[in-house]
A and B are shown apart, each in its own frame.
Chain A
Amino acid sequence: MDGAEARDDAERERRFQARIDAGEKIEPKDWMPEAYRRQLVRMMSQHAHSEVVGMLPEGNWITRAPSLRRKQTLLAKVQDEAGHGLYLYSAVETLGVSREELIDELLAGRAKYSSIFNYPTLSWADMGAIGWLVDGAAILNQTMLSKCSYGPYARAMLRICKEERFHEKQGFEIMAVLAAGTPAQRAMAQGALERWWWPTLMMFGPPDAASTHNEQLLRWRVKQKSNDELRQWFVDLTVPQAQQIGLAIPDPELRYDAASEHWRTGAIDWDEFWRVVRGGGTCNRDRLAARQRAHEEGRWVREAAEAYAKKRRA
């Protein structure tokens, strides 16, 4: 790059930041720094993959839902996750990456997705805990992202937030019903909370001090809150909900700090987080194998649709 080109880029970047500072949205054909595009592709594709892989832990319980009401809810929720994956792939495509490439990355095991889905779903109460905690946490993140500076991402988030409210509510309902049930049901709910609490707190990502992307993403208004701020928001909302249904948060150090009006948790085990991110979770291998199998088993449908379209074009 010669001097003049570098100056042009610096000038374009200055104008880009000025637009962002003025609260304008960036649309697909607008000029954007390559690093901004790359960060968005990274975040949005991980988000899309998370929706798709997120179908698996819950799909596991559809045939064993305890009532028709619970089964239709779970089916609708899992179908929503598929839809949300598609909204997001569609949004990533506006950045010049094809859905095919993204899906190939996922199937080849090169793509990241939220580590929370590498934990197993051991009891029915896990369906409650996932809706209440995992979707509850995702909604906070997505509410923030619905104000993202990149238009297509923000619009996809708005749509998802509207739909996911029921995911969180049905999860809390499951937990509340179990918590008020027989001693065995109560124990099942408490067990699920104990297994999902810490992994949910890790969903917001590494602490601000250790996060490599936070500062730049905030400056670009891709995010408006840091990982720790979002995590605190979640804890403050969720602790009173647990108290309300009589379940105990598995954290002996949890305390209310009256001065700051925040709930303070004990230390998060970041070694576990990194272990699961790097593939050491209980289900990393199963999840990938299930996606590959689903893709292969759907091949005949794709081939039939293609053959039919070809015949009609002829």
Chain B
Amino acid sequence: MSADAADSQWPLWEVFVQAKTGAAHEHAGSVHAADGELALQAARDVYARRGPVVSLWVVESERIIATTPADSPSFLEPGPEKIYRHPRFYTGPKAVKSGPKAMKKP
């Protein structure tokens, strides 16, 4: 049961699944596979046994470049002090409606 090279578990691939056209691809999990083609097949067997799935992506896990929890707060500097980026920062005459919700249905 030794972990010889021929019996390796292969690189790790992250799997992304799109449930319907127009939706975003969402991370579903990972698979081990010798190459991309086999990774797609394994992803199909593992993460698309049941619908609805219209599209699958796989990417080698080590190719993903991600933020770390340590540098996230400053790197992703949230906008509490940038409230001018939100519509509620702005005021107008109360009687005037604006935005998509103001549109009358045809």
Closest to A94 in B: B30
- Closest Cβ of chain A to B53, distance in Å, is 12
Instruction: Tell whether, in the assembled complex, residue B1 and residue A108 are in contact, meaning their CB atoms are under 8 Å apart.
Output: yes
* Known contacts A31-B69, A309-B35, A87 near B6 by CB under 8 Å: no
Task: Give the residues in chain B near A27, CB-CB below 8 Å.
Answer: 69
* Known contacts A31-B69, A308-B34, A309-B35, A87 near B46 by CB under 8 Å: yes
State which residues 13-41 of B face A: CB under 8 Å: 28-35, 38
Of A83, A93, A100, A107, which contacts B49 at CB under 8 A?
Answer: A83
Instruction: Tell whether, in the assembled complex, residue B30 and residue A93 are in contact, meaning their CB atoms are under 8 Å apart.
Output: yes
Instruction: Tell whether, in the assembled complex, residue A29 and residue B34 are in contact, meaning their CB atoms are under 8 Å apart.
Output: no
Q: How many residues of B contact A (CB 8 A)?
A: 24
Is residue A91 within 8 Å, beta carbon to beta carbon, of the partner chain?
yes
Task: Give the residues in chain A near B35, CB-CB below 8 Å.
Answer: 308-309, 312-313
Task: Give the residues in chain A near B3, CB-CB below 8 Å.
Answer: 100, 104
A79 CA to B50 CA, complexed, in Å: 12
Is residue A305 within 8 Å, beta carbon to beta carbon, of the partner chain?
yes
Instruction: Tell whether, in the assembled complex, residue A99 and residue B6 are in contact, meaning their CB atoms are under 8 Å apart.
Output: no
Q: Digit string of A277-306 for contact with B (CB within 8 Å is 1, else 0)?
A: 000000000000000100100010011011
Task: Give the residues in chain A near B9, CB-CB below 8 Å.
Answer: 98-100, 103
A139 CA to B33 CA, complexed, in Å: 30
A80 CA to B46 CA, complexed, in Å: 8
Is residue B98 within 8 Å, beta carbon to beta carbon, of the partner chain?
no
Is residue B45 within 8 Å, beta carbon to beta carbon, of the partner chain?
yes
Q: Can you pick out 30 interface pairs between chain A and chain B where the beta carbons lie within 8 Å of each other?
A: A27-B69, A29-B66, A79-B49, A80-B49, A86-B29, A86-B46, A93-B12, A99-B32, A100-B3, A100-B8, A100-B9, A104-B3, A107-B1, A108-B1, A155-B29, A156-B29, A163-B49, A163-B50, A299-B6, A302-B6, A305-B10, A305-B34, A306-B34, A308-B34, A309-B10, A309-B34, A309-B35, A309-B38, A312-B35, A313-B35
| Known contacts A30-B69, A99-B32, then 6 further A-B pairs from the complex at CB < 8 Å, ordered by chain A residue | A90-B31, A93-B12, A163-B49, A305-B10, A306-B6, A309-B38
